[in-house]
Each structure stands twice: as C-alpha cells, then as structure tokens.
Structure 1
Amino acid sequence: MKHIGAAQVVVTADESDREPTLAELDAIELESPVILAEVDLLDAQIKAMDRPANEMDARRIRRARNRVLAARRDLINRTAGASVPGGAA
C-alpha cells in the first residue's frame, strides 16, 4: 500500500499557539475602559438578581450603563481620527 501523507512538515504555526501581537495588545489597552465599564454593569445586574427590585439597584444599574456609554463614546472619539489600514479612501 502506498503512503499518501504530506511530504513536508507544516510550516505555519497554529493560531492558538501564538502570543498576541503588539497591535492586538494596543487594541486591548485602548478598549480596556469599555471592558471594565461593561464588567461593572454586569456586576450591578448580577447583584440586582439576588434580591427584589429596589431603587438603589436601579440607580446602580443606570449609573453603570451611563459609564458604559461614556466609555464607548470616549473610545469612538479617540479612534475617530485614526485611519484604518486597507480602508476606503
């Protein structure tokens, strides 16, 4: 029986084996305020699930939502002037 396997070893690395690139780390750092604000919102929503609805929980969730919106706005404003490689002219 004739072997029909690959004659050469795979040259490219598996995507799951690599470290993040500097560009990916910069993107994560840029988005970290939004990520942290979303985590705070999720925490507020989880806390509100453990007990009956009250005004304090509603305020906490509303403030957390406002922080998420503000963080997203700031991110958009910071990246609005940046050009995206490969984008339309």
Structure 2
Amino acid sequence: MKNIAALQKVVTDLLPDGEPSAAELDAIDVEMPLILAEVELLDAQIITLDRTPNELDARRIRRARRKVLKARRALTNLTAAPGTTGVGA
C-alpha cells in the first residue's frame, strides 16, 4: 500500500486564537440594532410556519420588516462616507 500525503503546505497549523479583535467587536456593536431587528423578523416568520397567519401575525411581520428597513437605513447613513449623497454611490 502506498502512503498518501498532502502535496501542499498545511493551512491549519497556525490558527489565530479565535477571539475577535477590538475592531471586529466594534463593528458588531454598530450592526447590533440591525441584527436584533432581523432576529425579530425571523421570529415573527417562524411563528407563522405551522399555522395560517392571522391579522395579528401579519401586523407583527409588517412591523418587524419596517424595523429591519429602519435599522438598515440608519446603518447605511452611519457608514456612508462624508461628502457623498448616497445616490449612485
């Protein structure tokens, strides 16, 4: 039997410590309102999976979608470069 060996250098031998950097944590903090809004929308959609959505469910989903859009707009406005109009940028 022949031994089969990798012909390429091992990639996983020098893994980082696995902890997020301070910059990554700051980015998560900035995006947290959007993340929470998306989780709320997902929760509202999951509720309707096993039954026919009623008017309350429809309102809950609409409200969650509006919250996601509002959070996305706020994040986009926050991260937009100064001096740009946002149109076509």
Deviation, structure 1 residue 50:
2.6
Q: Which position in structure 2 is the counterpart of 1:24?
A: 24
Q: Which position in structure 2 is the counterpart of 1:68?
A: 68
Corresponding residue SS for 1:81: coil
Aligned: 1:53 with 2:46: no
Q: Which position in structure 2 is the counterpart of 1:85?
A: none
Corresponding residue SS for 2:48: helix
Deviation, structure 1 residue 19:
1.1
Paired residues in the alignment total: 71
Write the distance in 2 (CA, Å) between the matches of 1:54 and 1:18: 44
Write the distance in 2 (CA, Å) between the matches of 1:18 and 1:55: 45
Percent identity of equivalent pairs: 63
Write the distance in 1 (CA, Å) between the matches of 2:61 and 2:79: 27
Cα displacement string for residues 37-86 of structure 1 (whole angstroms, at most 9, x for unaligned residues): 0000000001111321211111110110000000000000011136xxxx
Cα displacement string for residues 12-43 of structure 1 (whole angstroms, at most 9, x for unaligned residues): 8404x331111100000000000000000000
Give the aligned CA root-mean-square deviation in angstroms: 1.9
